[in-house]
Structure 1
């Protein structure tokens, strides 16, 4: 029974959950390639390490602009064949595939930064409605399982995508930055990513259906009203004052969580190159080898998250979702900070296990907790608004971490990873104060 509409939603089978979530395999394929390789691409094209965080601002700023708008538009969309969310899945997939093909062909730093804007905006067009899709289709008792299925595909997609440069290198493809150009291993990985992104999202578009609004006449009346630009703008901006209490509490958790994640994605490459491979020269073979090794590290944490996706809901039923989330964030924070003390590349896989547990929970528990507190007809909008608390900390990180790293840490980015770990520990403590009153009795598929 949906608590907001009073309607009974059909219980979906395992394979129905699979089909509606499979598109996330492609979405995370794109994100994983971006997260593991963007700093490497920027550095190869001559970026100053102190400015890496600034160049990364393209990603969170596009999310800040795109997600609430797409959420609002998808809430007010209905097509007899395409449904509500699937038109946005498809459009985003086409644009993201184009951006993934363009990124490794960037001939200059400014071009790579511009393509990052396009790529992140396109991925967000596809991704945001996927979060609302679970709330649309699933009863409260299945929502945790629905987000866990998404997390499973996120993990699987990220594992394969993160390993692609190493795979191509093992096949004899050059991993050298010849003439300051992006290595062939990275180029081929992005080409594969563009194709996989499009095909995976297309699978969900074709194989999953959507529930029509329960009162089509009332929906059409609201949609007509929403077409007014002034009404739309007022709705989008006015949502902050209408956020449920649970959403406000989770906002603080998300803020510190995503400072940690952004620090990890930006600085792990240079931190490992400096702390383990003993180089800061982005044109050297050692730096490129460090970049490939970071891909393997990210594959490990993504693989752990895929496996943990179906285990965490079991612990959540035995305890609570916020207890599981707080525990996973604490483990992840300690693991991220521990990288500072590791100088052997193989030992680096150990903290990635802890980061993987945290990542699985980050992708599952906050959204499952939030979904139960949101009105059904505005699920897409509030999920998009919730993304503000993912991108705002990233923007703060982009503006501040470069200066902190340079002036307080002497340019040693491994210390920035320790700072990220501390932020994740703060998020773990804040999770304990979140209200999860709509926690389901059962969360199994």
Structure 2
């Protein structure tokens, strides 16, 4: 588990500079295409990676069986290959691409502000008093919520503990920032990050809500699709039964479908943007995805779930590209990397929330039927589509 945490953290640390890299290297009119191409290669990589153990087993005759508690060689070598490809991809970019210096980027920003009559958003300054007020609120709210959940559930679920105690930690961070601010010690990295978190551009705040409700459905899908389809469409809950395994195999086909669709959708997105704008294109894709998730409970024949996954694939390609294109057009270039990293919070937070509440909702509200987790996810994505309309952008 520790190794998976390290791997996941490393991938995220590597991913965000690449998000900022597109914004740094491309003019605004090309950023939608740039991020769409990222979605294209993410889709291609996902399909190849999902198929890699099978290819190693069938093409290279690598053993795909193992004793209990062991990993098959096909899975091990797939991870080795993934690590080498990941390292090679990063090194290829590092050594073959000339990056603009901070000074050059600053000149570009001044030029755009001058010729497009667009002033950079003024930086807000948070006083020590405001830090203390926010810190006490989050600290108190987190502690009270932890107590109430513990009292109601008789024991605090680990996932819920991460959510509520995270609020406590955030409150403590605010109090520390307030203490540093009161002593005029604001030139350190911690204070600057807390200040930047507070002074996010308005577009970023609006996109954060969209991003939160867009990612929640995918964490629900990745966690509960197998249980949902095997129980609802194959009437199987016994993991050793033939019907359950047929359903689980079909889930693999469906996951490949949405990743393949994302490859195609990534090509279509710049075309749609050209004839509308970033917001409208994103709203359309999120509406498709939301309807796709909800349709899981309406479709009886699992074969037709491919249509649902095609709709989900368009949403997947869109959330990997369009929000970053909108955001990069609204950020000061000097803060591009930092704000892209902060923006990643709104991918992590819905993951924590999904892990915290979906299991409880399924067991206590939906009578143990995991198919409703996908319906909740669909409703969340439809809400995200509506929230896109609140994002104020010229694109």
TM-score range, shorter chain: 0.7 to 0.9
Q: Which runs of 5+ in 1 are unaligned?
A: 1-112, 219-227, 440-445
After superposition, give the CA deviation of every residue in 1:319-352 in whole Å (9 maximum; x if it has no partner).
Answer: 1111111111011011112122344443222111
Does residue 192 of the first structure (1) align with residue 149 of the second (2)? no
Q: Distance in 1 between matches of 2:248 and 2:75?
A: 10
Change (3 A) 1:229 1:119: farther
Change (3 A) 1:288 1:211: farther
Q: Distance in 1 between matches of 2:243 and 2:62?
A: 17
Contact 1:335 1:352 in 2 (8 A): yes
Q: Paired residue for 2:298?
A: 341
Does residue 359 of the first structure (1) align with residue 248 of the second (2)? no
Q: Paired residue for 2:41?
A: 153
Q: Paired residue for 2:24?
A: 136
Q: Distance in 2 between matches of 1:416 and 1:182?
A: 30
Q: Distance in 2 between matches of 1:357 and 1:371?
A: 21
Contact 1:160 1:299 in 2 (8 A): no
After superposition, give the CA deviation of every residue in 1:346-399 in whole Å (9 maximum; x if it has no partner).
Answer: 322211110111111111111111111100011000111111111111111111
Q: Distance in 2 between matches of 1:327 and 1:156?
A: 23
Which segment drifts farther, 234-243 or 366-375?
Answer: 234-243
Does residue 376 of the first structure (1) align with residue 264 of the second (2)? no
Contact 1:166 1:292 in 2 (8 A): no
Helix, strand or coil at the partner of 2:103 = coil
Does residue 306 of the first structure (1) align with residue 306 of the second (2)? no
In the TM superposition, what is the alpha-carbon distance from 1:217 to its structure 2 partner?
Answer: 12
In the TM superposition, what is the alpha-carbon distance from 1:211 to its structure 2 partner?
Answer: 1.2
Q: Distance in 1 between matches of 2:215 and 2:63?
A: 34
After superposition, give the CA deviation of every residue in 1:412-444 in whole Å (9 maximum; x if it has no partner).
Answer: 22211111111101111111121112x2xxxxx
Contact 1:151 1:364 in 2 (8 A): yes
Aligned partner of 2:102 among 213, 223, 238: 213
Contact 2:216 2:351 in 1 (8 A): yes
Change (3 A) 1:279 1:364: same
Q: Which runs of 5+ in 2 are unaligned?
A: 108-184
Change (3 A) 1:369 1:409: same
TM-score (norm. length: structure 2):
0.73
Helix, strand or coil at the partner of 2:320 = helix
In the TM superposition, what is the alpha-carbon distance from 1:178 to its structure 2 partner?
Answer: 5.0
Contact 1:162 1:296 in 2 (8 A): no
Aligned partner of 1:402 among 359, 374, 381: 359
Contact 2:215 2:350 in 1 (8 A): yes
Change (3 A) 1:123 1:291: farther
How do residues 61-80 of structure 1 correspond to structure 2 at under 5 angstroms? Answer: none
Which segment drifts farther, 355-364 or 207-216?
Answer: 207-216
**Cα RMSD between the aligned structures?**
2.7
After superposition, give the CA deviation of every residue in 1:67-119 in whole Å (9 maximum; x if it has no partner).
Answer: xxxxxxxxxxxxxxxxxxxxxxxxxxxxxxxxxxxxxxxxxxxxxx3333112
Contact 1:333 1:421 in 2 (8 A): yes
Change (3 A) 1:337 1:166: farther
Helix, strand or coil at the partner of 2:221 = helix
Helix, strand or coil at the partner of 1:434 = coil
> Number of aligned pairs?
317
